[in-house]
Amino acid sequence: MKDQVVLIVGGSGGIGQACAELFCKAGAKVVLAARNREKAEEKSKSIKKLGSEIHVIEVDVTNLASVSDMAREIDEKFGGIDVLVNAFGTGIIQPLLDIKPDDAKELFDVNVFGTFLVTQTVVRYMAEAKKGSVIMFPGILGKSVMRNTSVYSASKYAVTGFTKALVEENKRSGIKFSLLYLGGVATDFWENPKVEMRVQKEKMLTAAEVAKAVYYAASQPGQSVLNELVLQPESHQMV
């Protein structure tokens, strides 16, 4: 991964930060994009202390101008984007009849429209360069469902379908797509009051474990590609 440009969107979260540290250690040029720039900057300080090259950009994934500016700035500074890690998203785990329509709309705006907007924008650059890797996080709820996840699972199934269609659309383009179906990960996702689910974080995957899977997907050599990977804690298995 030496000198490859890795864009991690959702850079203020636990998974994004863990991925950034791993890619930096491998010699990549890492860009953290987040809505909360100050939070991303604060969390990146420990990585910068390692002497790694890491940059932070503010972005609103639901805003075309913001996403376009982000991609253009990275392209002008580094000459392209080799890896896109879409590590952003929001959640709702509530009974259908309890979900506020405005909350559902916000979730679809971020998880579905945001994923579309960021991916379309970055893939334009990758298509021109005829190379690139895109890592998606539909999570296990983009493959299987559980109680009270109707709206959240709908958004994640959309990411799954979107990505699988892109594989067909981009054959022989040089762009690789990976879907990571992750089980419960111990992040601040579970602190969201709209996620009404009691969990035991100590039994979940760690962000560092997830980062290893992301790195493995992004570093596949030559023509090989990791299309799908299911990674779950032993106590939370779903098939």
- State yes or no: pLDDT of 39 exceeds 90: no
Fold of 5-236: Rossmann fold (3.40.50)
144-201 pLDDT, tens per residue? 999 999 999 999 999 999 999 999 999 888 999 999 999 888 778 888 888 888 887 8
Beta bridge partners of 166: none
91-100 pLDDT, tens per residue? 999 999 999 9
Give the pLDDT score at 51.
65
Return the SS3 of 33.
Answer: strand
Q: What share of the chain has pLDDT > 90, as a percent?
A: 68
Residues 131-144, buried b or exposed e (16+ Cβ, 10 A)? Answer: ebbbbbbbbbbbbe
Strands (E), 72-120: 83-86
Annotated active-site positions, please?
152
81-130 pLDDT, tens per residue? 999 999 999 999 999 999 999 999 999 999 999 999 999 999 999 999 99
Question: What gap in Å lies between CA 177 and CA 136, rounded to an integer?
Answer: 8
Question: What gap in Å lies between CA 132 and CA 165, rounded to an integer?
Answer: 17
pTM: 0.92
Kindly list the domain boundaries of the chain, sorted by start residue: 5-236
pLDDT band of residue 7 (cuts 50, 70, 90) is: very high
Give the pLDDT score at 53.
77
Give the pLDDT score at 196.
86
- State yes or no: pLDDT of 239 exceeds 70: no
Give the pLDDT score at 119.
98
Give the pLDDT score at 236.
67
pLDDT band of residue 3 (cuts 50, 70, 90) is: confident
Total count of residues recorded for the chain? 239
